[in-house]
Structure 1
Amino acid sequence: MITNKDYFAQLPKEIKQGFSELNIGYHLRKANITKLSGYSCLTVFKLIFLLVFQYKIFLFR
């Protein structure tokens, strides 16, 4: 299982900066997107966001 520490260490610095500049966590909370347990909504959102772009990269190879 991937821990929170390992996951955030794998993010490129451009993605980290973009998410912090756009205040994605704030907008998720404002939209009332919550979870009861497990990883935070922001972590799940980042994972899905990265998977979409990784898939597109693999299509062009």
Structure 2
Amino acid sequence: MTAITLRIPDSMDKQLRDAAAGASSLNDYIVRAVRRQMTLDAARKLTSMPPLDLAGEGDTL
């Protein structure tokens, strides 16, 4: 597990709390949002990689 520290500006507090109203906690909402963003960032990196040459590899795992 990696620990991160987020600094949320006071001006965003109300909007963030409103958005997290349905979550079990504000922390849970933020953790889920960060995980989603990390997944999207990883997907963007994968799509920017050149394709692998898998000729002759077949289609079985």
**Structure 1 length as normaliser, TM-score?**
0.50
Q: Structure 2 unaligned runs (5+)?
A: 50-61
Greater helix share, structure number? 1
Pick the aligned partner of 1:44 from 6, 9, 32. 32
What do you get for the CA RMSD once the two structures are aligned?
3.1
Classify the secondary structure of the residue corresponding to 1:35: coil
Query: Which is bigger in relative contact order (C-alpha 8 A, separation at least 6)?
Result: 1
Pair member with larger Rg: 2
CA distance in 1 between counterparts of 2:42 and 2:3 reads 13
Instruction: Point out where structure 1 has 5 or more consecutive residues left out of the alignment.
Output: 1-5
Q: In percent, how many aligned pairs have the same letter?
A: 9
4+ aligned runs moved over 4 Å, structure 1: none
Secondary structure at the counterpart of residue 48 of structure 1: helix
